[in-house]
A and B are shown apart, each in its own frame.
Chain A
Amino acid sequence: AQSVTQLDSHVSVSEGTPVLLRCNYSSSYSPSLFWYVQHPNKGLQLLLKYTSAATLVKGINGFEAEFKKSETSFHLTKPSAHMSDAAEYFCVVSGGNRDDKIIFGKGTRLHILP
């Protein structure tokens, strides 16, 4: 069985400061892990994905995430927040097995303070 937990429903950071969005997962198999972003009134867009290659994954717009198997975590980070980063972020786990479902976290809304 799979599950994903986003530890914070809201995160507020000042523009220019680091961003950390936390995600823990559970999976019976080697999972595929993703971060998607959803801007208001827009569809979801893939930020980055982990599929058992390098544990540090670089994505678009300066975001990156580190896969830590021992901690079952896949936290999303960005060194310096920009106003345009204000959005909702979803951590997603997919087992890749035919019987496994794709599970979305509840989402973290990122607020950027001027």
Chain B
Amino acid sequence: KAGVTQTPRYLIKTRGQQVTLSCSPISGHRSVSWYQQTPGQGLQFLFEYFSETQRNKGNFPGRFSGRQFSNSRSEMNVSTLELGDSALYLCASSPLAGGLSGEQFFGPGTRLTVL
């Protein structure tokens, strides 16, 4: 079974631009979660989707948004990029409806650099 895939793996943007990151979960997994990892703040939860519905959301500004498609693939969008948005963005999938309470399978991440 293929693991969680994230595209692109690396991305460079400038302040004020917007960016869209993509995540394909493991086949059969319907829960997808997104995380931001930075040296200063560590790993922080962004949001979780299950069956195209956002089930849970972390404490990030509205510039961060996401969606999930009927095939469980998910996208994350960040608008009006700031320097502080530079981070590794991780996607994780789970077969469970309560994805945050069970094992999650992580992708390799997308490294976003904002100049």
Contact = CB atoms under 8 A, between A and B. Distances in A.
Interface of A: 32, 34, 36, 41-46, 49, 51, 90, 94, 96, 98, 101-107
Most buried by A among B43, B44, B106: B43
Given A43-B107, A46-B103, A46-B104, A102 B45 contact: yes
A49 B59 CA distance: 25
Most buried by B among A32, A34, A101: A101
Contact of A104 (B44, B101, B107): B44
Interface in B63-115: 90, 92, 98, 100-109
Contact of B106 (A44, A94, A101, A107): A44
A5 to B, nearest CB: 12
A94 B99 CA distance: 10
A34 B42 CA distance: 16
Contacts of B107: 43
Contacts of B28: none
Contact of A105 (B35, B42, B56, B100): B42
